[in-house]
Amino acid sequence: MIPLRYGLRDRVRLTKVSGAPHAVCDLPLAVLRLDGRAARLLESTAVGAAVDELAAGLGMDPEQVVRLCEYFRSRGLLDVELDGHAVTMPSVTVIVPVKDRAADLDECLAALARLDYPRDLLEVIVVDDGSSDASAAVAARRSCTVLVNERTRGQSYSRNLAAAQASGDLLAFTDSDCVVHPGWLRELVVPFAWTRVSAVGGRVESYFSTTLLDRYEQVASSLDMGRRLLVSLDALDTFYMPTCNLLVRRDAYLAVGGLREHLRVGEDVDLCWRLRARGNVLVYAPRGRVWHRHRDRWPAMLRRRAEYGTSEATLYALHTDKRKRLLLPAWPALSLAVALAVLLLRNARLIPLVLLPWTIDVARRLLNLHAQGVTVSPWLVGFSALRVHLSLAHSLLFLAVRYCLLGLVVPATFVPRLRLPLAFAVLYTSAVDYSVKRPRMTFASYVGCAVLEHSAYQVGVALGCLRRRTLRPYLISLAARPRGPVRPGQPLSRASSPPRSRAT
């Protein structure tokens, strides 16, 4: 069973153009010519349908259905949700490592005691990692198993120790500074009905909400993977989920050797990547929530961000197949290049040139649509193209700010012409993020917080690269067109191959 349910989005219409079935999505704009099987699949999702229902009705393998649905979802045609109405509850061992957090651990275990999950299927193991406070005593007062390290061995060692003794089919990891939602496990066990799924993660939200740092962490935490359900099918992607909110099949965890104990940061990324390398599927289900006590002082928070940055060089050295990937279509890239050139030259008379690549792109799209016999409002085509151009500008400029801001400040100090493009990069990326995330702070405060965080992270990346003598974290694989759909296992048959899109 694959417990996913797909539904056609309201903005999508299925129609025929010159006798051929097409799917048209207004926003994001996509016009796709469909083969017969793909057309029937989309028609079947008009009122929502489970994967197994779609597979039975179309005579397809359920995993083929998922791959095809995820392709359509990536084009904005489908929504997805978990379908757990017939899922059997597996046994779960919750593992909580702790060091010198007695008060936090007490609240963590109290929340676990309130879980809406069958008691006879639940085991809790607390690993005291050489604490000097009463953490072990707090755990002993609760109905859980307590393991004690005589000296501090680290979270990865502690988790591996507990995993070796766990009785549950699933290992559920959380931290002593986290408080789980009562429905945490009920939400996250659902995807495991699909046997290919080896790990499922949930959303990590901020426990605190009072200070400026708290409000920034609420929208910019590196542990929060967002609000959208994700199904990771591509073994080459860099998707991961943090161990403070992660469930893993015990057999799969032990098969890859658990967490690498020598890694102090990035061990969760490494685990997810090793699971993916074995052909497993990862699922992120944001409704399985925990609240995390982040570092609530700026020095501690920035130091932690720098530590995260140092892990990149190590991770890319361990996983040589991984690399940052970015889609770089020609006309949006040219728009950004022209805009930066105008800022660099500081010549207002050149500003109209910024619109030239966008104008050509819109005309090209309209001609493609006309050639297909598809009628779409020119205003909609123009707006859709503008979104693509602005989105690419954000992606490229964000990478520059995230990884190179401090390095760019130095030349900008001596070359005044570089200051305006650099300021534009910082303000533009911050403005886009601010409008999307809507933090409870002023824009100026958000920019200041973001600059501090980016600076700390890139210092860590640079230090990691120096230690490892590598530049791999700075390398980006660029492509002018999107890669074909992911095909784990057997390739899609020609009859159900994703259709070509001529306008997006």
Please say whether the beta carbons of 249 and 91 come within 8 A.
no
DSSP code per residue over 61-110: -HHHHHHHHHHHHHTTSEEEEE--TTPPPPPEEEEEEESS-HHHHHHHHH
DSSP code per residue over 437-456: H--SS-HHHHHHHHHHHHHH
HEC readout, 291-303: EECCCCCHHHHHH
Strand runs labelled E in 332-490 = 476-479
- What 8-state DSSP symbol labels residue 492? P
Rounded to 5 degrees, φ, ψ at 177 are: -95, 20
Pairing outcome for strands 501-503 and 29-33: antiparallel
Which residues in the chain come in under a pLDDT of 50?
A: 484-504
Residue that has been written with the tokens 């005309």 in this structure: 363
Domains 4-85 and 92-294 agree in fold: no
Amino acid identity at 350: L
Please tell me the CATH code under which domain 92-294 is placed.
Answer: 3.90.550.10
C-alpha triplet 107, 111, 113: angle, nearest 5°: 115
**Residue-level pLDDT at 471:** 95
**Residue-level pLDDT at 490:** 34
**Residue-level pLDDT at 483:** 56
Please say whether the beta carbons of 301 and 455 come within 8 A.
no
Can you give the residue ranges of every domain in the chain?
Answer: 4-85, 92-294, 326-479
CATH number assigned to the domain with residue range 4-85, chosen from the 4 options 3.40.50.970, 3.30.360.10, 3.40.605.10, 3.90.930.60: 3.90.930.60
